[in-house]
Amino acid sequence: MTDTTRPRRLRTLFISDIHLGTRGCQAELFLDFLKHHEAETIYLVGDIVDCWRLRRGWYWRQAHNDVVQ
């Protein structure tokens, strides 16, 4: 898919297990997914920010901020 390709339009998108705040989070890949998909409604259904891991130490990269924004 090239950058000039229009985003795929969806009616509903369910997002789960992003785990922002962890080293295993693939925020850049998720941002790319969002860039290529548009939805009328987005449901954030679980483990978007991994608060349990944040208690042990912060791992918060710029890409994690970009996802939140």
pLDDT band at 1 (very low <50, low <70, confident <90, very high): low
Please tell me the pTM assigned to this model. 0.80
pLDDT at 50: 82
Position 3 pLDDT exceeds 70: no
pLDDT at 40: 98
For the chain, the domains span 8-68
pLDDT at 52: 78
Question: 31: burial class by Cβ within 10 Å (0-12, 13-18, 19+)?
Answer: middle
pLDDT at 58: 79
| Token output for 64 | 């994690």
User: CB-side exposure of 20: number of CA atoms within 13 Å?
Assistant: 20
